[in-house]
Structures are given as structure tokens and as C-alpha cells.
Structure 1
Amino acid sequence: MSHPRIVIYSGGTLGSWALPYADGADLLVGADRGALFMLRHGLKPDIALGDFDSVSADELVEIERHSTLFQSCDPIDKDYTDTELAFAWALSQSPSEIIVCGGLGTRWDHSLANIHLLRQGLQAGVPCRMLDEHNEIMLIDQTRPLQLTAGTYPYVSLLPLTLDAAGITLQGFLYPLTDARLTIGQSLGISNVLTEPTGTITVKEGLLLVIQSGDPRPIG
């Protein structure tokens, strides 16, 4: 299979919101407890990998038995998180796209480290997205403009991943920018809104996180 679309389920915050992303995927990857989530919701991992220190012995047997491929590693001697192991495997498949569900959660050290993985995808020229129920995160550089379509997420925020991101131009937004600079430690790029069906983001220097987000809907 050439240039597959890959969806990774990791061990962070997951729920029913994550299941539709499996539709149309060519390969499904379960990282640690993410593989158990998949099995519990009728999805079969094409590969399950990690140290599996967050599942029980019986759950580990279940994961190994029902995954097409299974790779475990020692939790003490490994150098990378389970999500990075899964992400590296996905990149090795020369994918057309990588989507990570469950890469964000209550452990902010893991969440931030997983967001940083987007840089590996950018360097490889692979479009990547990091998702949870209320956010979609991407990383861009000067390689090509990013086009966003109005829809699920009402807000678009920009944060530099490098010390500065310069030459930022926004088209189709309520608060346009032209050849602007964002510096790490500032909140200038938070909570913009699309005013056109499609918006374009261009950056000339540095790395820029693009975060589409929405507030939880009230109950009742």
C-alpha cells in the first residue's frame, strides 16, 4: 500500500468523538492503552505497540491476540513515549496523512511532548493533526500556506513553536494579519474567527501552531 492515511489511537483522553476518524483510514495504530480503546469499540489495530504498562495482564493478552501486528518494549529501557513510537512507525510507512487521537490528556508533559511530534511530521512533509474532543492542532512553516474551512471549530489560534514566527499573513479572518510576527510568550494570536468559507494562513519564518477549537456544549 502506497501513501496510506494513518490514524493513531494513543493512551490519552479518548471517547466516542474519536471513532469516526477511523472511517476511511488505511492503517489503524494502537499505542499502549489506545489499542485497548480500539478493541473495546470494534476497531482492530493493524499494529499495537508500546510498553503496555497501563493495561492489565489479561488486557495485554487481548491486545496481542486481536491486533494484526504486535510490538512490545520494556518500560524501563525504552527512550521514547508510546505515542512517539507509534508516530515513528507511522512515518516509516510514507503516509499521506497522520491523525493522532488520544495524544492529549491530563498529563501535560505527555500532551506537550506529543504536540512537539508534529515537527517530525512537518520535516517529513507529511500533513499531521493532533485531536481531542474540542481541539485540532497542526504545525506549519514556510513550505506551503494552510487553508482552513469553516465548520466544526469556531476559533482559530496561532502560537509560535519557535522563539518567533514571522511573516504571518491571514486572509478570510475577523482579525487579519499582514506580514506579522508572533513571539513565544504572547497571546496575540488567540481566538481568531473565520469570516469567509475558507481562510488562508501563511508564515515565512519559524514554526507556527494552528489550533482550531471550540468550547464544550452546555448540558440541558
Structure 2
Amino acid sequence: MPHPTRRRTVIVANGTPAFRLECLECIQPVDRVIAVDGGYRYCAAMNIRTDTLIGDMDSLDPALLNEARGAVPEILQFPSQKDQTDLELALEHAVVKQGSTEILVFGALGGRWDMSIGNVCLLLHPVLAGIDVCLVADGAKIRLLRGPAAMTIRGKTGDGLSLIALAESARDVCLKGLLYDLDHEDLALGSSRGISNVFLQDSVAIELKRGNLLVIHTRIEENSQS
């Protein structure tokens, strides 16, 4: 059951779709669903109720767009020459117009490298400060922890966890419940020290005093050897 004080939005973008079954199962009746441009074809294919379609519509088949006009309550079409990506517009809409406090994003990664990296960096967007945003990728969930803050991640023993300092070094990091715990240590910007940690229990705790940490939780069944 969703938390009574939370307003959650599920965004389906146009990258490589992830966890199609999970996407269907996670959507609650009270959730808002935003399709981002060509991401609408995934919603249509999976019969996902869509509240808003947003984008410049350059990657959506015209026939499907016409179909959407009769099925989607809100369509926000923007010019192709603009200063923001369609996903950025969708994230801003979810927070500013819908008042979302939690956002799940499917299809933000895969395909073009520039778009994928840019979408990860969108987690730093000022409008998302204080919002629980999760990018769902193949086998992984990606969040940004902004210090000072703490986070508990639930998973399974053997799951992977990687921490990457983003935009600035992460100061005074504490980790508990992992193969490599940290006790008030720093993760420097540009360092790979936080990569490929392992769950030793079903939940782990992360504390951050200052800076930004990209938190990547990889499910055990998707882990790869390197």
C-alpha cells in the first residue's frame, strides 16, 4: 500500500524498457503515470493507464500519437528545438504541477550514451531536492543521496551496491551491512573506491554528511562477474 502522505508518479521514458512486469505491478491506482514521447508506445503495448504524455513527439509514431489524443487526458507537446530534454520536462512537471514526492522512472537508460548519462545527471536537478527519485534500469535501481542524509536499502544477501561521488566528493560516509563497511570516511570525486560492494544482509544503511552519492543497487540475479 502506498504511504498516505506520498504522491508518487511513474514515468515511462523512451530508453530501453526495464522490468516490464515490475513496472505493471508497481503502479498503484493513486499513482500518476507520465509517458515521455516514444515511451508512450510501451504504455500502450502494456495497457498502462497514462495520465500525461509529454515531449516534442519526435520519436512517437504519428498514428500512435493520434491514438493517444483520444486516450490520454493531458498531452503536452513542445517544439523539437528546446533547452531541455523531454525527461527533464517530465520530471519538472511531476514535481511542480503534480506535487510528487516520489518518482519511479522506467526507460531512462539504454540506447544513446549521451542521453543515458544526461538522464543520470538529472538526479542533481534542483527541483528534485528532497524528492525520492529512482531510475529503474536492467537489474538495477539508481538513486541520488544528497548530504546530510541517511538511506536504508532493502534487498537480498549477495546483492550488489555501488556508490559514486557525483559533482563533488562525498564526505563522512558510513556504511553498515556490507562486505566493505565504511566508518566516517570520504569517497573522492573521480574515485572508484565505492564500486562493487556486496550485501551481507537483507538491508543496508548509508549515511552521508556532505556531498552527493549516486547509489546503485543491483539485484543478485542480475549481478555479473568482472
Scaled by the length of structure 2, the TM-score of the pair is 0.88
Decide which of 188, 200, 205 is 1:183's aligned counterpart.
Answer: 188
Superposed CA deviations along residues 64-119 of structure 1, whole A, max 9, x for unmatched, are 2211111111112x211111111110011221310100111121111111112212
Decide which of 213, 217, 220 is 1:212's aligned counterpart.
Answer: 217
User: Matches of 2:185 and 2:62 in 1, distance apart?
Assistant: 53
Matching residue of 1:88: 92
Q: Is 1:5 the counterpart of 2:5 in the alignment?
A: no
- 1:116-131 correspondence runs (5 A): 116-120=121-125, 123-131=128-136
Q: 2:52 touches 2:75 (CA, 8 Å); kept in 1?
A: yes
Q: 2:159 touches 2:223 (CA, 8 Å); kept in 1?
A: no
- 1:1-220 correspondence runs (5 A): 3-15=6-18, 16-17=20-21, 18-23=23-28, 26-76=31-81, 78-92=82-96, 93-120=98-125, 123-151=128-156, 154-214=159-219, 216=222
| Structure with the bigger percentage of strand | 2
Q: 1:36 touches 1:63 (CA, 8 Å); kept in 2?
A: no
User: Matches of 1:96 and 1:31 in 2, distance apart?
Assistant: 19
Q: 1:83 touches 1:114 (CA, 8 Å); kept in 2?
A: yes
- Quote how far apart the aligned CAs of 1:194 are: 1.6
User: Matches of 1:26 and 1:152 in 2, distance apart?
Assistant: 30
Q: 1:3 touches 1:94 (CA, 8 Å); kept in 2?
A: no
Q: 1:153 touches 1:213 (CA, 8 Å); kept in 2?
A: no
- Quote how far apart the aligned CAs of 1:181 are: 1.2
Q: 1:200 to 1:3 in 2, by over 3 A?
A: closer
User: Matches of 2:223 and 2:130 in 1, distance apart?
Assistant: 35
Q: 1:152 to 1:177 in 2, by over 3 A?
A: closer
DSSP-derived class of the 1:145 partner: strand
Size of the alignment, in residue pairs?
217
What letter corresponds to residue 72 of structure 1 in structure 2? Q
DSSP-derived class of the 1:179 partner: strand
Cα-Cα RMSD: 2.3
Identical columns (%): 31
Superposed CA deviations along residues 120-148 of structure 1, whole A, max 9, x for unmatched, are 37753111101112110000122321001
User: Matches of 1:122 and 1:206 in 2, distance apart?
Assistant: 17
Scaled by the length of structure 1, the TM-score of the pair is 0.90
DSSP-derived class of the 2:182 partner: coil
User: Matches of 1:110 and 1:157 in 2, distance apart?
Assistant: 21
